[in-house]
Amino acid sequence: MEKEFEGKVAIITGGGQGMGRSVAQKLSLEGANVIVNDKNLEALSKVVNDLTSSGASAVAAPGDVTKKDDVDAIVATALDEFGAVDILVNNAGILFRTRLLDMEEEEWYLVINVNMKGTYLFSRAVIPHMRKAGWGRIVNFSSTAGKAVSTLGGPRYTAAKAGILGLTRAVAKEVAPMGITVNAVCPGLVDTEMVQENVSSQQLTGYIDSFPIPRICDPAEVAELVAFLASDRAAYITGASLDINGGDLMIS
């Protein structure tokens, strides 16, 4: 039986850990050729080695998502290796818990740039190739923070994730006639390294106890949602934001 993404080429940013790693695993399991990006060379190498050892088609593409030259080089790697870019998953993100009055300007721009500028640069770089093919899928990572207020990330993370939702809608409208869909996923609290580094076990228990579904989300569950949006099953969905938060935030 042919796999769902057989022959497709996917770029996953921030794929060295957490949700990005799970997305790379899911898409490659379904037959995609994956270009995995991360700044952490050790984590990136481990992910790609694990994928290739299991028989997947995966290539490491280190680089900084906030730098245009790096972004262009990563897209060029996908084209050189596989001749196309069909799917882009803008997962790379960063957060700090600093309060507004304690925040330096450099920290503000770092969070905004990694989360938003990276999404913009990669989207702009891949859309011409998707337009030429007449098919493409872009899945952006926002958060429940983009619709409410961040549990962990503070004002610049909340602003960045809200901005990604606006960017998603605007680009989706622009590229829909080209056969490209653009959607966003909005995870709540997910069991990733970034969460583990920022939440004590006592705090985590408190959060979980407040959720209608009283547990933390597994990154693999987010990867399933991303895979759906990247597939032909979601061909008539664009400009949407899909929540996956255990009922922590319920809004229409």
* 190 three-state secondary structure: strand
Active-site annotation holder among 109, 157, 207, 236: 157
φ, ψ dihedrals at 45, nearest 5°: -60, -40
- Sign of the four-CA dihedral 197, 201, 203, 207: positive
3-state SS string over 134-188?
CCEEEEEECCHHHCCCCCCCHHHHHHHHHHHHHHHHHHHHHHHHHCEEEEEEEEC
120 has catalytic annotation: no
CB atoms within 10 A of CB 172: 20
Say how many CA atoms lie within 13 Å of 206 toward its Cβ.
6
Interatomic CA distance for residues 143 and 241, integer angstroms: 9
Q: Which residues are catalytic?
A: 157
